[in-house]
Amino acid sequence: MNILLVYPEFPDTFWSFKHALRFVRKKASTPPLGLVTVAAMLPEGWNKRLIDANVQDLTDKDLAWADYVFISAMVVQRASARRIIDRCKARGLKVVAGGPLFTCEPGQFADVDHLILNEAEFTLPPFLADLAHGRPQRVYTSDEFPDIRQTPVPLWHLIDLKRYATMSIQFSRGCPFNCDFCNITALLGHRPRTKTAAQIIAELDSLYALGWRKTVFFVDDNFIGNKRQIKTEILPALIEWRKGKVGMSFDTEVSINLADDEELMGLMARAGFTNVFVGIETPNEDSLVECNKKQNTHRDLVESVRRIQRAGLQVEGGFIVGFDSDTPSIFQQQIDFIQKSGIVMAMVGLLQAPYGTQLYQRMKEEGRLTDEISGDNVDGTTNIIPKMNLDVLREGYRKLLAQLYSPEYYYERVKTFLREYRAPQIRVHLEFNEILAFFRSIYRLGIKGVERVQYWQLFFWTLFRRPKLFPLAITLSIYGFHFRTVCQSHVQ
């Protein structure tokens, strides 16, 4: 059996980093973790190939080789997934689809032969058993949550690691919180299910053996959902594993209550974590209450961010405008908060209601749903009718992005962050592409760029004030070019 696993292309989005990746000659930010994990669940005797449309073209020769095409996608990849499915069906190929897009929108893909919905640990084995007996059903679904301690190590050899900026692994699924706009708990539950330390080390060993020495992203929606296991098992194992090794820093996603735990932040920094994404959403307390973001209320959010930064963890922030409690003053409030906190990578989007969320159900009951969501966090679209006048919301959002990612505001925010940040000690593995990226930044940003004044100010400010953070300052300058390019394309 020849199985072709296909990952659709991402559009040009905030998190695609496409414009920054060109500086280091990489094709994509992260690999398709779900597909390389599913590949490990397929029978060993099957022939497997993986095509990531973000790094290589899907050719007719690839399709001619395949007996089945397995495709997985997120909502933002909808358009590319549709094109790939159409190509497969035109050639008479059987298509097997799974992942968040198909789990959330199964009714939109009537021509898919087999839908393996929810989590593959439960829904893939019965499909494989039925396929072996010649009677596969069309839809496989489950409302149970599997024990991911049985999940195999991904088949990393199916991809070319050199084409990616970071690798990905997963420690847990599920989140203990209940934010009404988030579909994580609908898809993965409230109780965090975790892998063992032995599993995590085995996955890291497999990447290290293949020569990977750069960043690894823990894709957990809330890495600290089970603090006890993180503190007593996972982080100590990571600290021990990294002894004597070069490179391998870690990024992940956490909730803001990380700032309340000095011990946990210290362990994460010692384990090699450098970046954490935090869903801050808004400085408007009423809006936080409205969306049930209880963990963010009754605290000084700026000081919480600074505590995390001082612990050696850069905070990347998610922000939302368009809550019912928002007034037109929210746009300036967001700018002021982001600038003051020094959150360099601040993703700001309009409120959207994903299928399966409490917000979706409430908007449906109130007759306030419009189109399907795009899955793109910063394209200025929303699938709900907001309380604020829609034209006012869109214009305020456009001005917010334009100001936030203007060179003056962006580079000042970088300085604010670098003043607070205390970088962890990590033995860096420097690649030739990164040296080239430095010189490209001088030419593209320091000579040709509209930000050349701010670039050189930051260049020399960091060189003399925070010299150990100079490489990070250059990296953030390159990221700023990407963010500004994306935002300009969306807000014009």
Q: What's at 114, amino acid-wise?
A: H
Give the DSSP H/E element, type plus range, for residue 177: none
Q: Which residues contact 417 (CB under 8 A, 6 or more apart)?
A: 309, 314, 342, 343, 344, 476
pLDDT digits (tens, 9 = 90+) for 329-353: 999 999 999 999 999 999 999 999 9
* Model pTM score: 0.95
Q: What is the pLDDT of residue 375?
A: 87
CB atoms under 10 Å from CB of 370, counted, come to: 13
- In percent, how much of the chain has pLDDT > 90? 91
Residue 149 has pLDDT above 80, yes or no: yes
Closest CA to 172 of 146, 141, 140: 146
Per CATH, 2-140 and 166-420 having the same topology is answered no
Q: Helices 407-420 and 390-404, interaxial angle, to 10°?
A: 60
Closest CA to 318 of 269, 351, 355: 351
pLDDT digits (tens, 9 = 90+) for 216-255: 999 999 999 999 999 999 999 999 999 988 888 999 999 9
Residue 427 has pLDDT above 80, yes or no: no
Alpha helices (H) in 54-147, listed in sequence order: 60-65, 78-90, 100-104, 120-132
Please report, for the chain, the start and end positions of each structural domain, with discontinuous segments joined by +: 2-140, 166-420, 432-491
CB atoms under 10 Å from CB of 294, counted, come to: 12
**Average pLDDT value for residue range 406-424:** 95
CB atoms under 10 Å from CB of 432, counted, come to: 9
Q: 52 has which bridge partners?
A: 7
Q: What is the pLDDT of residue 492?
A: 59
**CB 46, CB 1: distance < 8 Å:** yes
**Average pLDDT value for residue range 171-198:** 93
Which of 70-84, 165-179, 291-305, 371-385 has the lowest average pLDDT? 371-385
Distance CA 45, CA 67 (A): 14
Band (pLDDT 50/70/90 cuts) for residue 406 is: very high
Band (pLDDT 50/70/90 cuts) for residue 374 is: confident
Distance CA 352, CA 197 (A): 36
**CB 394, CB 380: distance < 8 Å:** yes
The yes/no answer on whether domain 166-420 falls in CATH 3.20.20.70 is yes
3-state secondary structure of 111: coil
Q: How many CA atoms lie within 13 A of 482 on its CB side?
A: 24
pLDDT digits (tens, 9 = 90+) for 39-63: 999 999 999 999 999 999 999 999 9
Distance CA 297, CA 288 (A): 7
Fold of 2-140: Rossmann fold (3.40.50)
Residue 433 has pLDDT above 70, yes or no: yes
Q: What is the pLDDT of residue 185?
A: 85
Average pLDDT, the chain: 95
**Average pLDDT value for residue range 171-177:** 94
Exposure string (b/e) for 304-320, b if CB count within 10 Å is 16 or more? bbbbbbebbbbbbbbbb
Q: What is the pLDDT of residue 168?
A: 97
Distance CA 386, CA 286 (A): 16
pLDDT digits (tens, 9 = 90+) for 255-287: 999 999 999 999 999 999 999 999 999 999 999
Q: Which residues contact 94 (CB under 8 A, 6 or more apart)?
A: 67, 68, 69, 113, 114
Q: What are phi and psi of 363, to 5 degrees?
A: -65, -35
Q: What is the pLDDT of residue 466?
A: 94
Q: What is the pLDDT of residue 491?
A: 65
Alpha carbon 144 to chain centroid, angstroms: 25
**Average pLDDT value for residue range 411-433:** 88
Which residue would you say has higher pLDDT here, 424 or 231?
Answer: 231
Residue 188 has pLDDT above 80, yes or no: yes
Q: What is the pLDDT of residue 423?
A: 83
